[in-house]
Amino acid sequence: MLMNTYKIAKPRTKGIYNYSCYTYLNMLKIPASVFENFDMLAPSLAYQLNHLKLQKNYNPHFSYIELYDQFFSVVNDNIDRIFDKRRAELLKELASINGRKNFVRKNKENPEYLLFLKDADEHSTPEYEQEIHQQLAQLNQFIFSVFDSKLTA
């Protein structure tokens, strides 16, 4: 009978996996809206992720594996709140902006709508619309990076 002469050093394997989790979590770009959800859903996770971003170096004594597991647990259990709901809110706001723009365009000359037109115009600035598009892009980038096989620990 052949015996396995290779002894696997579990602490070293765990250390490599721990470092891999650290690297993965460090590479994630978490948008402010997602971070706010983490802060409400799992304050300790938000705190640890924030602390991780401030860290200069890998700490082999910290369990990044647990942080990684907690991160995925919160994301999987709350994907509708973290991603779907926020994305829908942003798309709804873009539709609202477009509706206000059309309304302003069609009713520019009508004095009855003067106050409403001013308000609609103020809430339909190109900068605000660009900000909404940027938030959507960040949210999409986040969700794609979470499940990117090149990053997965």
End-to-end CA distance of the chain: 36
The answer to whether the predicted template modeling score (pTM) of the entire model surpasses 0.75 is no
Residue 8 pLDDT > 50, yes or no?
no
Quick one: pLDDT at residue 78?
A: 93
C-alpha–C-alpha distance, residues 59 and 68, integer Å:
15
Residue 149 has a pLDDT of: 56
What average pLDDT does this structure show over 110-116?
71
Confidence bin at 121 (pLDDT 50/70/90) = low
* pLDDT number for residue 15: 87
Q: Which of 48, 73, 69 is nearest to 59 (CA)?
A: 48
Give me the mean pLDDT over the 109-117 stretch.
71
Structure confidence by residue, pLDDT tens digits, 44-59: 999 999 999 898 899 9
Q: pLDDT-derived band of residue 151, with 50, 70 and 90 as boundaries?
A: low
Q: What is the pLDDT of residues 72-107, one digit of tens each?
A: 999 999 999 989 999 999 999 988 888 877 777 777
Spatial CB neighbours of 102, under 8 Å, sequence gap ≥ 6: none
Query: Between the CA atoms of 44, 45, 48 and 50, what dihedral angle is there, to the nearest 10 degrees?
Result: -110
Question: What does the pLDDT read at residue 150?
Answer: 57
Give the residue-averaged pLDDT of 1-27.
72
